A and B are shown apart, each in its own frame.
Chain A
């Protein structure tokens, strides 16, 4: 139940009803209950074999080299009849930096694989707190490097790779894009940041407003504490771990950023888009009225859920379509 007295934008009515239904079922997330949370394996959009079959998409699992040469699993999704080179989507899953797996998220992008003959690579980066910063973002970068280096055999055009992720995946995608810029490669033509988790500092107004919803201020602190430990909120945090801290966003690939008006990440996501524009980078921003964090996954059937998915698909078509 909300205890804050700060006024805040309400949830969309259709979404409010969904929240009522799920909120008392979401287990309490603290640093101690992370394992319990992981064991639930919550994936509102499961990528089953049936769904892949229905879409005519195949899945291959491979082991590649992650950060410092550690083994890392990736899955490669492509049309069964994919030939030649198509656009590449390097996908990073969400889960607050502490939960989730590489199959959480790609279902939303299945239509891009089908419609644009894209090849999607999704990485099983190591999670905090067992593997704190910089492991997650460096694993993600290693996976991107592998994707670019193996573009030919994956059937990917190395000049048409985008990076995409939601929530913590969006934050890691932004961080990886920064690494790719500063390390002079691989080349990215776009970054899709879906309600990205960008800022460890826990100071924005939207952070204060939302102690209710799917990803609350408390959850957010748990995620960032797990990733950064005592460094959270101090100057000792890199822009790759918390992209909101970057002051120079020039030279980054065109971005799509979306979020709900009723979520913790609203202000940092809007700020990131603003900073991109100020640096002369192309960016598209959508803030959905009354959206809670992850509403597109949990409530895709609602009017605002539909609208957010359509906007994402539209941007992807503009970037990936030929």
Chain B
């Protein structure tokens, strides 16, 4: 049986299987699919039986979605544990390349699904802009945070271990991210973090939105980005929907590495000559490139307004670049 991810990837052979698996589970979680649906998905993805054990209850599904019985003496493979639920894949013979990743993502999805169900979880409600102020205030109360308290949210990768502070996994338009509440500013640093704006606790969704934007702007050079440092650019970043890209962004995205480097130098340098020096290129080459870029972009990036357009587009491009949600 051709595994589901293989069949779906056949439509786009260049897409990595990892991305497909991650995207599929993210979508399942975002759609609110329950444990049985998650198991069916894991089974179909891998072409194997997927199972879960909660206490004494065992659920197993095969790759076509049929529920299988579990006999009393059935011993599940170790798999992974999430929120006291063990999940696994069953396969005769050697595991397939994607199996471990599928189990990992399944466990992550189960964790998130369970947290949404659990009456104790509050943080995911507290950062959810679609919930009413009352619902969010109740959720904060469960976390022993008062509505007027000053907090900020911190966004990190889901692969980071949960910190001491209240944290939860949240589906975002960029995939699953971990949200942690910071009440003191004293959270231990993580490998990559987006720091949200400081807000009243009952405005937590604003801080979380800012934290997500900040996280997207982290890279090796800037592993920790504070949304507050973006100043008014945060307004622009927040209002942008990467699914409906602006033409300035799509045109900028088409520049190759050389064009991007030249463009950046042109914008930052005082003159074409100093840009050329910085790039180690001949003045007339840079001149020619400037003219070509002006045509391609539809504006001159060396004019005051052109510089603004470039900076804005470059920021928004960073928010729309396809990127592994595992980063």
Which A residues lie at the B interface, using CB under 8 A? 1, 11, 13-14, 16-18, 20-22, 25-26, 40, 42, 44, 46, 300-303, 305-306
Contacts and interface: CB of A to CB of B under 8 A. Distances in A.
Interface string B214-250: 0000000000000000000000000000011000000
Contacts of B15: 25
Contact of A44 (B7, B20, B27): B7
B27 A302 contact: no
B23 interface: yes
A303 B64 CA distance: 10
Nearest to B21: A21
Contact of A303 (B12, B31, B37, B243): B37
Contacts of B36: 303
A22 B31 contact: no
Nearest to B29: A17
Given A21-B20, A21-B27, A14 B8 contact: no
A11 B28 CA distance: 12
Contacts of A44: 7
Contact of A302 (B30, B37, B243): B37
Contacts of B28: 13-14, 17
Contact of B32 (A13, A46, A305, A306): A13
Contacts of B11: 22, 25-26, 40, 42
Contacts, number: 68
A73 B186 CA distance: 73
Contacts of A17: 24, 27-28, 30-31, 33, 41
B47 to A, nearest CB: 10
A20 B243 CA distance: 13
Interface of B: 2, 4, 7-8, 11-12, 15, 20, 23-24, 27-28, 30-33, 36-37, 40-41, 43-44, 61, 63-66, 243-244
B8 A13 contact: no
Contact of A21 (B24, B43, B61): B24
Centre residue among A21, A40, A42, A303 by max chain B CB count within 10 A: A21
B66 A306 contact: yes
B20 A301 contact: no
A11 B41 CA distance: 16
Contacts of A13: 28, 31-33, 37
Contacts of A306: 64-66
12 contacts: A11-B31, A13-B33, A14-B31, A14-B37, A17-B27, A18-B24, A20-B30, A25-B11, A42-B11, A46-B2, A301-B44, A306-B64
